[in-house]
Structure formats: structure tokens, C-alpha cells
Amino acid sequence: MEEKKTIFSGVQPSGNITLGNYLGAIKNWIDLQENYNCIYAMMDMHAITVRQNPQELRKRTLDLLKIYIACGIDPEKSLLFIQSQVPAHAQLAWVLNCFTYMGELSRMTQFKDKCAKHADNINAGLFTYPVLMAADILLYQADLVPVGKDQMQHIEITRDIAQRFNALYSGEGKPVFTMPEGFLPKAGAKVMSLAEPTKKMSKSDENPKAYISILDDFNVIANKIKSAITDSEGVIEYRPDDDTKAGINNLLTIMSAVTGREIEKIAEEYSTKGYGDFKKDVAEAVVEEIRPIRTRYDELSGNKDYLMDICKKGAEEAGKIAGRTLSKVYKKVGFVM
Ligand code: ATP
Ligand code: LTN
């Protein structure tokens, strides 16, 4: 029988998980569990590239695990772990730092955005962030990496680093690293801010009206959608290349991602209706999608031992897999073993 392919992905515990994180990434991870070897981590080492409150970071990391499970990631089927509990991530990241150029890191859009946002703390970790992400992916020899569109540039640089390392060290044998590919969801690869629909929805936005947290109260979610910025044209039409329609395009995308229906069909159905009615229905659809997640999330609260146990077992298992790749790399570069 052919061996199952490997999937790797993760989210940073840097804030409340948004509808963007869910539709762009986590929702897409669920079905993959059936046919792939899935590994999903909580990326706490990436999160400290911007200042975090230690108590909050600790809490958010376990809350993120609860969210993964509540969304439908089954700890019996997928390997779940906390990034900082597997030292190989930091170890491989160091080696890969020596195979990554300043020039390529300087071109990263996320780095430029974060520099503008955190001008008082442009640290080296923020700059080498994609190298740590490359280490995450390459350690597990992942074939596919399901992420939102904003992360595709980081997948590209991961491929460039892997290719460079493979070309130098693989020789005639099997490549040291499997070449990973990004994997985008059909709808929801880039959910936009509700307050500024030409910007992506981000969990670290200082305006809470810009994003929907999947832990927001249902009436808060409905109100945020009702007050989402649209336009004054009053026509429900999907025009992805027209920025003046960014708000409506975004709501249509969200509706499509939560219902699984095609955007054009939804637009047609609402073509004679007003924005108010449409927003009400989008809010309802979003709440219905989130409701079962919330029930499961609440059930998991107070179950800290269960969660800690998953992390412990996960880190052990992940450590074994990662350790094999790290040993190969250490040998290749000439470290005494
Ligand atoms: P931060 O604001 O702290 O940078 P973020 O909200 O961008 O965080 P990440 O932890 O960086 O979230 O991303 C986790 C996953 O969610 C990634 O796969 C990313 O591509 C995806 N994602 C983030 N924002 C969106 C969005 N607005 N639409 C679709 N996918 C998204
Ligand atoms: N950078 C990602 C989070 C992340 C990740 C990864 C995603 C860190 N390492 C490895 C996929 C694979 C982000 O979403 N901001």
C-alpha cells in the first residue's frame, strides 16, 4: 500500500482565533485527517516575535489546543503538539538560518507589515520568522501545508531553502528534505477585515470590530457583521477585482465558505435583496457554523489534565520524527555525532 502523505500546519497563540484563521486554515485541516498523516502544532515560538504577556501566552496556547479539538481535529487521528516543547525546531532553524539570505528575508510582506506595526520592536526573530517556519515544515518531511493566502510567500521561501539545501547535500541519494506545497481552501483563503475590507482580517488588529473571534458572543458576532463596512451602491454582486465592492465581496466569500455553496449562486440569490437582509443571513450562517464548536470548546474547559496529556504525548512523538530529520541534517553539515 502506498504510504500516506504528510500534512503539517499550525497557528500562533497570539490572540483570539478569528473567523479568518478558521476558514483560511483550521476548517481545511479537518477533512485531511481521513487520508493523510496530519501534524498540527501550536506555534508559540513564532508568537514571541511580538511581545506577549507570559500568563496570557500560556493560557492561549492551551486554549488554541481546545479550539483545534473543538473544530474537529481528533487527537486520536492527528498529532498535536506545542512547538516550544520540541527543541528540534529551534535547532533546525539555526542551521537553516545559515542557508537563507538577508535579501530574501527582506522581501517578505509579513515582515514589512509587522515592522510598520511594531516599529519599537523590530527584532531579529521577526526577521528570521520564515526560517523557523521552514524548519517546522521540513522537520516532518511534509508534503502539503494547508494555510491561508497570506502565508504562501513563506511556503515559497521554505521551498527555496529546501531546494538549496538539497542541491548542496543530497548527492545521488534521496533528497534530505521533501519539497512541500501550500494548500489553499476553495473559499476563505483570505477573509478581509470587517472594518477595512481591503485589509486582511487579523487577530492582532487593535479594532475588535475588524474581526470575528470564534469565541465572541453570538450577538456580538451578529452585530459585527451588521456593522461591517460595505458601499453605497446597494447592489449585491461579486466583483473580486473591484475594491469598492470589497465589503460585499468579503461577506459573499464568508457566506460561501461557511455554507459550502458557490459564491456566484449566493450572489444571484441575493441580487434583488438589500444589504440588511443579506447581512442578517450571513450572521446567522456564521453563528450556526460556530455554535457546535463553542459547545465542544466549553466541554473541554476544566479538562486541563486531558489537554496536558495530549501535549506531552504529542511532543514525544513529534520529537522522534523531528529528531530523525535533524540527525540527517547534522550529519550532512558536518557536526560530530
Ligand atoms: P497575527 O495577526 O497575530 O499575525 P493572524 O490572524 O494573521 O495573526 P496567524 O497565526 O498568523 O494569524 O495565522 C494562522 C493561519 O490562519 C494561517 O494559515 C493564516 O494563513 C491563516 N489566516 C490568518 N488570517 C487569515 C485571513 N484573514 N483569512 C484567511 N486565512 C487567514
Ligand atoms: N506563520 C504561520 C504559522 C506557522 C505555520 C508554520 C503554518 C508557523 N509555522 C508551519 C504552517 C506551517 C502563520 O500562520 N502566521
pLDDT above 90 covers a percentage of the chain that reads 95
- The pLDDT confidence band at residue 332, using thresholds 50, 70 and 90, is very high
The secondary structure of residue 192, as a DSSP letter, is B
pLDDT at 1 over 80: no
- Rounded to two decimals, the pTM is 0.96
CB 133 less than 6 A from any atom of ligand 2: yes
Return the higher-pLDDT residue of 2 and 38: 38
64 lines ligand 2 (CB under 6 A): no
Q: Under a CB-based contact definition with an 8 Å cutoff, are residues 200 and 161 in contact?
A: no
Quick: pLDDT tens for 106-154: 999 999 999 998 999 999 999 999 999 999 999 999 999 999 999 999 9
**Separation between Cα atoms, residue 170 and residue 77, nearest integer Å:** 32
Asked whether residue 335 carries a pLDDT value surpassing 90, the answer given is: yes
Q: Average pLDDT of 242-267? A: 97
Is ligand 2 within 6 A of the CB of residue 93? no
For residue 130 and ligand 1, the question of a CB distance below 6 A is answered with no
Look at residue 312 and give its three-state secondary structure. helix
pLDDT of residue 204: 82
Tell me which of 151, 181, 201 to substitute to probe ligand 2's pocket, judged by most ligand atoms within 8 Å of the beta carbon: 151
Q: Which residues are catalytic?
A: 114, 200, 203
Taking the centre of ligand 2 as the mean of its atom positions, its distance from the CA of residue 230, in whole angstroms, is: 31
Q: Whose CA is nearest to atom 13 of ligand 2?
A: 11
pLDDT confidence of residue 51: 95
Say yes or no to pLDDT of 2 above 90. no
> What is the pLDDT averaged over residues 93-99?
98
DSSP annotation string for 104-167: HHHT-HHHHHHHHHTTT---HHHHHHHHHHHHHHHHTT-SEEE--GGGHHHHHHHHHHHHHHHH
